[in-house]
Amino acid sequence: MASIRFNLNKVRDHNYITLIYHTTSTSRLKMSMGEKVDIKYWDKKKQRVKPTHPNATTRNNLLGEIVVFIERVRNEYKIKGVRLSATDLRNLLQNRLYGKDDLLFKNYAVKWQAEMSIKKSTIKVVKNFVTKINEMYPDLSFDQVTASWHKGFVKRMENYSSSYTHLMLKKMKQITEAAYIDGIHTNLFYQSNKFLTTVNVSDKIFLNNDELNMLYDGLNEMSDVHRNATIIFLIGAYTGQRYGTYSNIDKKMVLYKGNKKMISIRQLEKTEARVTIPVSDKLMTLLDMEYHKISLQKINTYIKEACKIVGIKDWEKVTSHTARRSFATNAVLAGIDIHLIMKITGHKTESEFRKYVRIDDLMAAEKSHHMINMLQS
């Protein structure tokens, strides 16, 4: 026998009125009504808000309307000889409570952002996140945010650092949870322990100095598109910036102080920090070459092909972000103080940087290599 009841469901530090509808012993609908109520104002026996609550009448009227709606729908299905499933009821309730457009991620995210009391810096992060998700998934609904979606999203983000992908997933989880509380959807995948997992193969790749020299020495043998992409990539590998920044660097930015050359530039992504980059002779040579900016998609395609052409192992794992990681990792291996490296890359904390270049793994590998050399000598 189908049953309708309401109770309070705690999400983080708040209690929300939640509809529980059992169709059978194995099928039920659990759907938030989007109404927050302190537990002291909830009558568990009557399953209603106590009269002492200032908005008791409005909220109890809503619950009453929901019950009447469910009873009417259930009778209509009974007349048709069709069982009212939890999924059917959820869809009907969503259409009853919300417009079709409200169920799309892009529309809810804009509304959520406007209603949230968040810092200006956070607003910018959220806006960038929403814009990117809308570009990738124009008509994404919350029901589509599944394990399959997550796998595809992480795959599509492989050209970015795992920290950026993790930030994107955190924002997705935050907005998806808010939509769940508001009754927009009943999809609980966002609560999975795996939701914030980012496994980016590209993050593990860096090109050592020999491999970077292979690309540099092979420039004259490449086609125009591969040569152009490789010059831009190498500029990134010798400046330690993200693609959005290093793809905009040119020789006009070079400053001369005595016999030293440097570039002072504001990073275009994330922190927008201003960094000063020393200009080596090889970097200056690259900046003197002819090249033009291309899209992220194109450089990721062409740099893979260029690496394959010159014979670099694991060429298929190389992306635009490999340039930045190569700079940081090669600098660590060269014995440069990590705090000096961080001033160039823009990393804020030592722990963040150590994780980025996997310093512990690098040191372990160096010790193993040294031990093998000792045993073989």
- What pTM did the predictor assign? 0.55
Q: What is the pLDDT of residue 373?
A: 47
Give the angle 135-137-138 at the CA atoms, nearest 5°: 70
User: CA distances (Å), 310 to each of 224, 245, 263, 282, in order?
Assistant: 15, 26, 29, 19
- What is the spatial distance between Cα 313 and Cα 211, in angstroms, rounded to a whole number? 9
pLDDT at 143 over 60: yes
> Which pLDDT band holds residue 369 (cuts at 50, 70, 90)?
very low
What rounded mean pLDDT belongs to the chain?
85
Q: Set out the domains of the chain in order of their start, with CATH numbers.
A: 3-97 (no CATH), 103-199 (1.10.150), 207-376 (1.10.443.10)
- What is the spatial distance between Cα 346 and Cα 276, in angstroms, rounded to a whole number? 10
Structure tokens at 179: 């939509």
256: left (phi over 0), alpha (psi -120 to 50) or beta: beta
How big, in percent rounded to 5, are the helix, strand and coil portions of the chain? 60, 15, 30
pLDDT in tens, 165-199: 888 899 999 999 988 888 888 888 999 988 987 76
**CA-CA-CA-CA torsion sign (151, 152, 154, 155):** positive
Of the ranges 93-97, 350-354, 363-367, which one carries the lowest mean pLDDT score? 363-367
